[in-house]
Amino acid sequence: MKSFDLKKQIARMGRNRLVPILAALLWTGSFAFAQNVVRGTVTDENGEPLPGVSVVVNEGGKAVTGVMTDMSGQYSLSVPAGAELEFSFVGFQTQTFPAGQVPGSLTLATDILQESVVIGYGTVKKKDVLGSISTVREQDLVNRKTGNVVESMQGMTSGVKITSSGQPGSGSAIQIRGIGSFTGNSPLFIVDGSYGGSELGLNVDDIESIQVLKDASSAAIYGSRAASGVVIITTKKGKAGPLKVTGDASAQLYWLPRYDLMDAETYKLYDDRAYEEAMLQGVAGVTKTQNHFDGDTDWQSEMLRTGLLQNYNVALSGGNNDIRYYVSANHKRDAGALRYTGYEQTGFRINTSGRKGIFEFGENFFFTKSNTQKLNTATGWIWSNFIAMPPTIPVYDESHPGGYGYGDPDRANTYALNPVGYEELYHAENGQQYLYGDVYGLLHLYKDIFSTKLNVSYKNYFGETSSLRKKGNWTMGQGDDAASIGYSTAKHDKLLIENTYNFDYTVGENVINAVAGFSYDTFHEEYRGESKLNPLTIGDRYITSISSATGTQTATGSYIEYALISYFGRLNYSFADRYLLQLTARRDGTSRLPAGNRWANFASASIGWRISKEPFFNVPWIDDLKLRANYGTLGNSNIGAWDYVSTLNTAPRAIMEGDDKAVGITLSNLTNNDLVWEKKTTANVGVDLTALDRRFTASAEWFLSKSTDLLLAAPILWTTGNEGGAPTVNAGSLQNTGIELELGWNDHVGDFSYSINGNVSTLKNKILKLGYDSTVSYTSTSISEVGQPLGMWYLYKTLGIFQSQEEVDSYVNAEGKIIQPTALPGDIKYDDYDGNGQIASADRQVVGSPWPKLYAGLNVSMAWKGLDFSIQGYGRFGHLVYNGAKATAGDFVNNNNNFRGYKPWTQEDPTTNTPRIIFGDSRNSRGDQDRWLEDGSFWRFSDIALGYSLPASLIKKVGMDRIRFSVIGKNLITFTRYTGLDPEFADSGIYSIGYDGCSFPNPRSVQFAVSFTF
Amino acid sequence: MKRYIVCFACVLAALSVFSSCGEKYIDIENGNSLNTSMYWKTEEDMNTNLIAVYNMFYRQGTWTRNIYTQLNGMADDGVSYAGWTELNEWTKFKYTNYNFAEGQAKIWREHWTAVNRANQVLDHIDDPNIVFANEQDRLDIKGQALWLRAFYYYYMVALWDNIPLLLHTSSAGDQPANSTPDAIFEEMENNLVEAIGYLPLTRTKERARPTKGAAYGLLARYYAQHHKWSDAAKCLEWIVEGEGKSVYSLEPKWEDNFNNKKENNVESLYEIQFSLVNYVGFDQTDNYRDANAQLGTQIEVNQSPKGTGWNNVEGNRWIVEYFKREKTTDGKNDPRLFYTCWYDQATTDFPEHGDQLIYGKTWSDGYSDSGNRVFIKKYSTDVMPLYYWNDNNFRSIRLADMLLLYAEVLNEINKGPNAKAVEYVNRVRTRVGLPTLAESNYYDGAKIASDYAAFKEHIKIERALETAFECIRWIDLKRWGFDDATLKDLQKRDVDYNYFVLGKHERLPLPQRECDNNPNLEQNPNY
């Protein structure tokens, strides 16, 4: 009888989805020992039932019988005493239990070595990976329930920095291995093999896995656009089996942190003091304290509320060997934590694939429609305004046009804006639609050794913004503006055609895989805008039809278009599973560079050595040990469509006399017409280790990357008269080095399984060259100098506070010149860095670095029976950040509010770091002093999640396979000494890393979710 | 094996098809706009290029807004009590952030843009491949561009002194070094002399374009500023006694120089034309890509009284007191006071005007808590309620100013006032009903008419009152020079001068960003 290779046969049956029950019956029928019946359920790490797991009874090392789990992951068979039960399934770790100790519900862990990793135009076994790739798997995503793709990766991988903008419906910024480029350090997003974008409105619930390709060799196949790394997203596909329905619903309550500001009473006290001091000092124009308004407004309470984010999702999937399908629908509704903001999104996804003989086809469609009610201003504005707006001003004031309170020269002399008035008088809404379609055909030729694929993907986007500006004022000194309505649209089409050829061949111990292909990618976007003054009103109601408005009408329109053609090839070769080699080459042509400079070639090579497979290697506790190294070059041309062309501005008009208007044309934006490809060369050395029965994993990397001919829209001198933004230039070279370490442990003790994954990384950058042959470049707060990191803090250094007139008089330079002769006790003492006896621009100095010394992330999860718990955190350490909120408050030099517990210097109580307060005199509150810098280190537990799955036996009765409840707390615990709202903020550009200009803080939330499968 | 060959042949065929026409697919033209290689070919191009220079008047940093605050605020006639501390300090010689946008960076940046636009015209205007129907039109365009460039340099030097001298279209990587006021003056002198040859005596339409008179006026200012008295006199002579005499005369009603009813009048040598023809929403001034951007001025909202507009700049009280020292021949207050200032006693000082409304409110209703503050009325219109922009042309060079300058220049040349000098002062005085100097009931007319120093001192007063808040006083003060004595005098009239440090504050600091990023540019002394 040939039945002795039983395990294999059952496993094959599982793969082929043959009638497992029949097999089970057959086998149980042929043996007749006295035995116990064992029943149980097998699930994966998400608690999803695993059908088709082979459950084999071993006696004396031989398989004697076995069954396969059914569609609900359940099995039942008789086990003789003294036998062992072995559970195995492709891609999962095999587990064995002695009869009598078999857990009723068993979780099979993914076999991390067999797991496949998507590397672009193909996959590779995780164990054979030669580059630096981090993976976020489905189970990590499922439990997190984040709003968008990028946030779902937060803290899960090393070397990846993610900053969320905090606003409903808006994306997050992502950076891989720091700043390697000056132009958009956002990585390339590949969704199911097509170029996507993090903005795609992709439903996180549809994602199966995310791979982050960090080094040149991994990303090389994507060549020109991959210089900042690649994020490959694979969405869920149908699996063979009967219809499976999954669904979930969640509700998230969230809120935004608030400044701890003074109330009106306290504010008046300090404000009066600042005015009295000003009068004493004879500050011009100050003759009396303010006759304060009698409001007591907490502007934050007026604008902030508890947000509610609801998310509903349902997916249907299934199929057989010939055809598979996956259909999902999603609805999200977000009532923002900031009043007047909100977001609503509805979308669906359909994908199917089929195969007959050598021909395979598939398609993937998704559609998303969203509507955002947004703030009509930059995000930083609202937060700085909470500080700038005195609490004495009432929200409403009937005496003003429109009825909102705001500044008054004698009562609250400020140009701050009433946020309630602004938002109520000025509405803006943004609707967006994405349609994304991808169709492919695949021919498997010659026994699957050779295949070719033609892939066409198309994305269509339509966005519209409409605004209504009603009549009324929100700030002091505002003119009598007409009401207006505005409507603008942006739409784009993106087409990608790709043809690839795949070759897989194994001869003896030689495994060869080769890919070659070309792609053509084109993008066209149109913008239109119109606005009209004086919309028709009926009573209080504004008619928002442009046709019915009566005032001046304006219209604008433009388009951009670009294309990229690429030829590429990759060869993977391995010998005896020990020696691995990967070669990649690519040739790209872009329309964004001038003719003659459009084409460039990029190549990379990787080698790997699996020591653990060497005959001499004999360390029993190590399962797998691999050394790898790679070197390669990538390119970037991620600049504007026509940055190399000098164009004319035809907008200038001038009045010749009366209302006689003439048309002008001028060259106003200067350009560099000799732009070339930016190139980034990376060397990467790493080691991967799996040990202790695959319970322990470790991977360590060192990398050095050097970017040359960096493309940058570098600000140029104002004397050039340039207008229209900084021209793009090949602006120098930058070097990044870093170490990344990822460690993981996962194990189980009986029913209790747990895993701990941590990562730490360092990143250092250095400027090698700057554009236009300069050696140094400054902003108002930072310096970027060749040989040094970008954007170092360059500020006036403060040396505390003058406590007495004697101290002022004795603060002299080497020649005895009094350095701050006009200072008084209570004023800031500035460091006379150049020793010339006065405080002037040459006294600015490097006072610290905005770059974290260390980045870290930690992810712990555990499960016991139906309960699961996970906690996730990340942090950045050892950097200085600029607290823009404090600088905005500015010590009562203007009438801005300040923070509770504020303690300025007084003669009576001089023990403070805060200077005396004086209105209308900015000597102590200048923005470019180091008093606003703070240690920005933080550790944040971003996610704490607790879940419970109802016992299978219970829900089976109602026809369900799985029901899970969960509670997730986000950003609830943060350890930091930073006194700003949030140590994790969106910075304001590469030269201002660490500049927190009253950035929108990250929300904190508690989320309740339920998910089910049947 | 045959199958393999077919497949590889397919691959090769596909690849070669794309490589052969690949270049075509990535050659995409920008159809949004003209590119520079298509421009500067025709007469029409030169015309439109020139209009773009005029367009620079309509910017916040030029004649829409900030230059008024800055020039009037620094001078002793104006003062800023703006609630915006940084703005207000910037006119008080208290400079903290050298990149301050409002009073500094915008003015600097936009003046250089204007210069760059003028340079574009001048770089191409002599190109013989550009055919003009009438060669005189080429010269007219050249003259206008030369004049406009000189006009912008004049104000830049007044503010910063040691700026670069740029005479050609900029390139992105330019890092120009400082020049000196003298070197710039020499170049501009030549430019204006040349422009005088090209510009017409008068224009019957499109009076935004300068004439010979505008060029003589600007050149006279340049000469006077550099104490080239006899050269200045020649220009002023042309204006007052020469050809200009047939063109320019004093407007009978003084106030017609500051309202939008009588623009481009006989007194005007050059004015900047404003209109509300582009009437759009909030702050569209600096949208350089918008063909509908505003073409009005914000002078009114900028200087309107506190609680009404921005009140970025207002008057010092001495202006009112000085006006009131002298009565007209019929015993009334100087009518110029009424049209120059809004202040608490206007109703009693000018009973004939009744209780006048200030943007819809009387002083006692709306401004009674303003004490003795003086708000600027010059250039206000009767629009109600106040809008961001108004269409009142700014009279940049007018005859009264030229007459007083001529008198001053003659006094310098002759080391004492001659009859002409006295006559020109009297002409300015009698137009508003004041007695001649000799008949003055307040000043010692005889001494003034005979003594160099007395005349010079008196001219300072006449100029202050006649041209208050017209962006002239700061430049006058620079011409007259700063020393300990003048500083003490200034401090009596304007407390801002308590912060003035000799050898430093005669000029603004250069924007820090420019000095930092341009190794060839040196910061002004003592900053």
Per residue, the 3-state secondary structure of A8-37, as one string, reads: HHHHHHHHHCCCHHHHHHHHHHHCCCCCEE
Strands A880-883 and A995-996: parallel
- DSSP string of B385-400, one letter each residue: S--S-B---EEEEEHH
pLDDT at A156 > cutoff 90: no
Most confident segment among A184-188, A438-442, A549-553: A438-442
Which of A409, A562, A772 has its CB closest to that of B306?
A409
Output the six-digit token pair for A588: 């790209």
Could you read off the pLDDT of B53-70 as tens digits, one per residue? 999 999 999 999 999 999
- DSSP string of B133-193, one letter each residue: SSHHHHHHHHHHHHHHHHHHHHHHHHHHSS-----S---TT--PPP--HHHHHHHHHHHHH
pLDDT at A25 > cutoff 70: no
Q: Which of A837, A690, A716 is nearest to A771 (CA)?
A: A716
Q: Which of A398, A391, A396 is nearest to A416 (CA)?
A: A391
Q: For residue A182, what pLDDT is reported?
A: 61
Q: For residue A402, what pLDDT is reported?
A: 92
pLDDT band at A200 (very low <50, low <70, confident <90, very high): low
Q: For residue A3, what pLDDT is reported?
A: 39
Per residue, the 3-state secondary structure of A36-57, as one string, reads: EEEEEEEECCCCCECCCCEEEE
**Separation in Å, CA of B89 to nearest CA in chain A:** 8
| Cis peptide bond prior to A98, omega within 30° of 0 | no
| Weakest-pLDDT range from A404-418, B263-277, B280-294, B481-495 | B280-294
- Give the amino acid at B139: L
Q: Nearest 5°: CA angle at A714, between A711 and A715?
A: 170
Tally of residues, chain B = 527
Q: What 8-state DSSP symbol labels residue B58?
A: S
The answer to whether B175 contacts A445, with C-beta atoms less than 8 Å apart, is no
pLDDT band at A33 (very low <50, low <70, confident <90, very high): very low
**Separation in Å, CA of A522 to nearest CA in chain B:** 9
What angle do the packed helices B135-160 and B43-54 form, to 10 degrees? 20
Give the burial string for A199-214 (b: 16+ CB within 10 Å, else e): bbbbbbbbbebbbbbb
Q: For residue A22, what pLDDT is reported?
A: 38
Q: Tell me which chain A residues have a C-beta less than 8 angstroms from the C-beta of B523.
A: 841
Could you read off the pLDDT of A919-964 as tens digits, one per residue? 988 889 999 999 999 999 999 998 898 999 888 788 888 888 888 8
Do the beta carbons of residue B389 and residue B256 sit within 8 Å? no
Q: Tell me which chain A residues have a C-beta less than 8 angstroms from the C-beta of B214.
A: none
* Chain B, window 170-189: residues with a beta carbon less than 8 angstroms from a chain A beta carbon: 170-176
**Separation in Å, CA of B439 to nearest CA in chain A:** 38
Minimal-distance CA residue of chain A relative to B17: A518
Q: Nearest 5°: CA angle at A642, between A637 and A643?
A: 70
- DSSP string of B84-142, one letter each residue: SHHHHHHTTT--S-TT-IIIIIHHHHHHHHHHHHHHHHHHHTT-TTS--SSHHHHHHHH
Choose between A542 and A201: higher pLDDT: A542
Q: Tell me which chain B residues have a C-beta less than 8 angstroms from the C-beta of A559.
A: 31-32
Q: Tell me which chain B residues have a C-beta less than 8 angstroms from the C-beta of A838.
A: 526
Choose between A864 and B235: higher pLDDT: B235
Minimal-distance CA residue of chain A relative to B317: A285
The answer to whether A778 contacts B517, with C-beta atoms less than 8 Å apart, is yes
- Tell me if chain A has a CB within 8 Å of the CB of B490: no
**Separation in Å, CA of B35 to nearest CA in chain A:** 4
CA distance A680 to A931: 37
Q: Which of B215, B31, B233, B243 is nearest to B139 (CA)?
A: B215
Q: Where are the alpha helices (DSSP H) in A751-854?
A: 805-810
Q: Tell me which chain B residues have a C-beta less than 8 angstroms from the C-beta of A665.
A: 34, 39, 45, 48-49, 51-52
CA distance B359 to B383: 8
Dihedral sign computed on CA atoms, order A53, A56, A61, A63: negative
Choose between A335 and A195: higher pLDDT: A335
Q: Tell me which chain A residues have a C-beta less than 8 angstroms from the C-beta of B19.
A: 567
CA distance A546 to A487: 9
Could you read off the pLDDT of B386-427 as tens digits, one per residue? 888 899 999 999 999 999 999 999 999 999 999 999 999 999
Straight-line distance from the first to the last Cα atom of chain A, in angstroms, rounded to the nearest whole number:
40
Biggest CA–CA distance in chain A, Å, is 111
What angle do the packed helices B106-124 and B66-74 form, to 10 degrees? 120
Per-residue pLDDT, averaged over B253-271, amounts to 96
Indicate the average pLDDT of chain B. 93
Per-residue pLDDT, averaged over A537-556, amounts to 89
Q: What 8-state DSSP symbol labels residue A706?
A: E
Output the six-digit token pair for B158: 């007044």
pLDDT at A1 > cutoff 60: no
The answer to whether A518 contacts B277, with C-beta atoms less than 8 Å apart, is no
Q: In what order do the strands lie in the sheet with A792-796?
A: A776-778, A782-785, A792-796, A844-848
* Residue B231: CA count within 13 A, CB half-sphere: 17
Q: Which of A369, A349, A113, A129 is nearest to A232 (CA)?
A: A129
Across the A/B interface, how many CB contacts are shorter than 8 Å? 338
The answer to whether B108 contacts A718, with C-beta atoms less than 8 Å apart, is yes
Minimal-distance CA residue of chain B relative to A471: B281
pLDDT band at A81 (very low <50, low <70, confident <90, very high): confident
Q: Tell me which chain A residues have a C-beta less than 8 angstroms from the C-beta of B65.
A: none
Could you read off the pLDDT of A608-632 as tens digits, one per residue? 999 999 999 999 999 999 999 999 8
CA distance A217 to A230: 11
CA distance B384 to B357: 10
* Chain B, window 119-158: residues with a beta carbon less than 8 angstroms from a chain A beta carbon: 120
Choose between B383 and B269: higher pLDDT: B269
Q: Tell me which chain B residues have a C-beta less than 8 angstroms from the C-beta of A480.
A: 385-387
Q: With pLDDT > 70 as the criterion, what percentage of chain B qualifies?
A: 95
Which of B34, B58, B209 has its CB closest to that of A647?
B34
Output the six-digit token pair for B417: 């006032």
Q: What is the dihedral of CA B131, B132, B137, B143, to 10 degrees?
A: 0
Q: Tell me which chain A residues have a C-beta less than 8 angstroms from the C-beta of B33.
A: 647-650
pLDDT at A14 > cutoff 50: no
Which of A452, A499, A666 has its CB closest to that of B7?
A452
Q: Tell me which chain B residues have a C-beta less than 8 angstroms from the C-beta of A662.
A: 51, 54, 206
pLDDT band at A142 (very low <50, low <70, confident <90, very high): low
Per-residue pLDDT, averaged over B163-178, amounts to 96
Dihedral sign computed on CA atoms, order B458, B464, B466, B470: positive
Best mutation site among A717, A722, A777 for testing chain B: the one with the most B CBs within 10 Å? A717
Burial class (CB in 10 A: 0-12, 13-18, 19+), A8: exposed
Most confident segment among A531-545, A956-970, A976-990: A531-545
pLDDT at A388 > cutoff 70: yes
- Tell me if chain A has a CB within 8 Å of the CB of B525: no
**Separation in Å, CA of A376 to nearest CA in chain B:** 13
CA A939 to chain centroid: 18
The answer to whether B172 contacts A720, with C-beta atoms less than 8 Å apart, is yes
The answer to whether B108 contacts A287, with C-beta atoms less than 8 Å apart, is no
Per-residue pLDDT, averaged over B40-48, amounts to 97
Q: For residue A31, what pLDDT is reported?
A: 40
Per DSSP, the three-state class of A930 is helix
**Separation in Å, CA of B28 to nearest CA in chain A:** 6
Q: For residue B8, what pLDDT is reported?
A: 54
Most confident segment among A188-202, A426-440, A925-939: A925-939
